[in-house]
Structure 1
Amino acid sequence: MPGKAPAADATLRILRLMSQQRGPVAASTIARTLELPRSTVYQLLSALTEHGFVIPLPELAKYGLGVAAFELSSGFNRQQPLTRVGAPVLARLVDETGLSGHLTVLLGRDVVYLVEERAPHGPYLVTDVGVRLPAHLTASGLAMLAGLPAAQVRALYPDKGAFTTRTGSGVTSYRELSAELGAIRERGYAVEDSSITQGLRSLAVAVPDHVGWPAASVAVTFPADRDVDLDATAARIARAAAELGRRIGG
């Protein structure tokens, strides 16, 4: 009960409120909405910042969720419910497209692979269950990053050192990343070509949660020289992502 641990209660209420917003929130808004003293809100935000659950955004005079919050939510998403619900949706997508598919969640600047469904005679993939890969190099990661506020993406990629590479392909700067995320929002799906494995291409669509945040991503992977209708395939992926979003309460 709040009376036994008021600070803990207020902290959890702040995190819940922030998780329900589409973007960063001002401390004054938190204080007013939760009917908490501003001094208390600032003290708790400071503690949450220290532990990585919150990121202050001085240029906006607001606070956003930090990497630790994403890790916490991804830890929940990686549990059996999402895997159990997502597996049959992914299996149907693979049957429809004849392409290997996978389901991922975002964990900081990485994606974690929860389910992989290899198509018959499909190429070997490095995206086995539990594998972590840089989000900015994968279609799955780019699809989810495109669903985050710009300030949140900037916080995840503060400098050049955040942009690792595997094959020499893929975005290597925040400017390139911003342009790519803008193209993904306009197009409706993400594309990755040889950034993870030379000669393989992937398409991905994010799975929205109940407030529109990217809870996961559905993707397919195929040889880059295979004749695939990208728009038609992306439309099928989008239908699978929407179905999964509805199943998890999106």
Structure 2
Amino acid sequence: MRHDKFAGPAYTIQIVSNALDMLELLAMRPANPSLGRLAGSLNLTRNKAYRLLSTLCERGLVEQDPETGTYAIGVAALELAQRLIRQAPVVNHAHPIMEELARKHDEAVYMTVLRGDDVVFLDMVDCERQVKATPLIGRRFPYFTNAAGKAIKALEGADPLNLLKKRGRKNNSLDVGSLLSELHEIRHKGVAVDCGGLGDGIVSVAVAVRDYAGKVVGAITMLVPSFRAVADRLESEIIPSLQEGADLLSMKLGHGPC
């Protein structure tokens, strides 16, 4: 019997696909959803959704609140995610660099990657300050709302307009001309700075990272409350450090100097 590489819907196991959809849905929900809401969102019967959730709860991947009956991601899922993330080469190499940046500037530092046209905040080293941004680890945001997405998109060569049309986004507040101009400037400067895209009073600063093939694989990103993100500090301290850190990580991933 030939064992060709499996690909395509013909090899999809529906129950596994449903379980993964359930975990992804729970991870994305800000409030813990009920059985009925989960079943409706995934187009499952309540019976199928309940059996699936019961199995996931038994393995600790999902937890049910005994008082409200709502569901949330379980500790086992979080532990598994952390183990997998830390084993990823880009995160494994990035974490020590992130620790040094966080220690040097006392601000939160993230390793971010692009999935589709959304940015995912994969790994984080937090700061010691009392006033800081809400942790974003595991969260996804449209690329055009933050410095990380813009830094990656500016260098990876894909047409941002095509991605927006493909997703069918309708965002009347998005100025496409300004976005294209900003991406061009980021490509020239090698750094992206965004104010307010991740929340009021939050400034994100990011520099893209490349691998051995020159492919953009992510961005080192720092989040700074706006009252600490004064222009002199950004230009003379934070941006040079992020560029140095991103260059070092790129070298660790096999990317040589330009």
RMSD of the alignment, in Å? Answer: 2.8
SS of the residue corresponding to residue 165 of structure 2 reads coil
Could you tell me how far 1:205 is from its partner in structure 2?
0.2
The aligned runs of 1:220-231 (5 Å cut-off) are: 220-226=222-228, 227=230, 229-231=233-235
SS of the residue corresponding to residue 217 of structure 1 reads strand
Give the number of the structure with larger relative contact order, counting CA–CA contacts within 8 Å between residues 6 or more apart.
Answer: 1
Segments of 5+ residues of structure 1 without an aligned counterpart are 10-76
Query: Given that residues 205 and 218 in structure 1 are in contact (C-alpha distance below 8 angstroms), is that contact kept between their aligned partners in structure 2?
Result: yes
Provide the residue aligned with 2:208 in structure 1: 206
SS of the residue corresponding to residue 199 of structure 2 reads coil
Query: Given that residues 133 and 224 in structure 2 are in contact (C-alpha distance below 8 angstroms), is that contact kept between their aligned partners in structure 1?
Result: no
Could you tell me how far 1:149 is from its partner in structure 2?
1.6
Provide the residue aligned with 1:162 in structure 2: 169
SS of the residue corresponding to residue 158 of structure 1 reads helix
Provide the residue aligned with 2:142 in structure 1: 134
Could you tell me how far 1:123 is from its partner in structure 2?
3.6
Segments of 5+ residues of structure 2 without an aligned counterpart are 7-83
Provide the residue aligned with 2:250 in structure 1: 245
Provide the residue aligned with 1:43 in structure 2: none
Of stretches 105-114 and 123-132 in structure 1, the one that deviates more from structure 2 is 123-132
The aligned runs of 1:77-96 (5 Å cut-off) are: 78=85, 80-81=87-88, 82-96=90-104
| Residues 16-70 of structure 1: per-residue CA shift (max 9 Å, x gap) | xxxxxxxxxxxxxxxxxxxxxxxxxxxxxxxxxxxxxxxxxxxxxxxxxxxxxxx
Could you tell me how far 1:99 is from its partner in structure 2?
1.7
Amino acid at match of 1:237: L
| Residues 126-146 of structure 1: per-residue CA shift (max 9 Å, x gap) | 443211111110111110001
Query: Given that residues 104 and 140 in structure 1 are in contact (C-alpha distance below 8 angstroms), is that contact kept between their aligned partners in structure 2?
Result: yes
Question: Aligned pair 1:118/2:126, yes or no?
Answer: yes
Question: Aligned pair 1:103/2:108, yes or no?
Answer: no
SS of the residue corresponding to residue 237 of structure 1 reads helix
Query: Given that residues 191 and 207 in structure 2 are in contact (C-alpha distance below 8 angstroms), is that contact kept between their aligned partners in structure 1?
Result: yes
User: 218, 234, 237: which is aligned to 2:239?
Assistant: 234
CA change 1:154–1:126 in 2 (3 A) is same
CA change 1:216–1:160 in 2 (3 A) is closer
Query: Given that residues 132 and 224 in structure 2 are in contact (C-alpha distance below 8 angstroms), is that contact kept between their aligned partners in structure 1?
Result: no
Q: Quick one: distance in 2 between partners of 1:214 and 1:92?
A: 22
Q: Quick one: distance in 2 between partners of 1:122 and 1:141?
A: 27
Provide the residue aligned with 1:216 in structure 2: 218
Query: Given that residues 148 and 205 in structure 2 are in contact (C-alpha distance below 8 angstroms), is that contact kept between their aligned partners in structure 1?
Result: yes
Aligned length, in residue pairs? 175
| Residues 74-132 of structure 1: per-residue CA shift (max 9 Å, x gap) | xxx95623222211110001112222111110001111111111111154434432111
CA change 1:133–1:96 in 2 (3 A) is same
The aligned runs of 1:139-154 (5 Å cut-off) are: 139-151=147-159, 153-154=160-161
Q: TM-score, normalised by structure 1?
A: 0.62
- If you compute each CA radius of gyration, which structure gives the higher value, 1 or 2? 2
CA change 1:131–1:93 in 2 (3 A) is same
User: 186, 195, 198: which is aligned to 2:197?
Assistant: 195
Q: Quick one: distance in 1 between partners of 2:227 and 2:93?
A: 32
SS of the residue corresponding to residue 128 of structure 1 reads coil
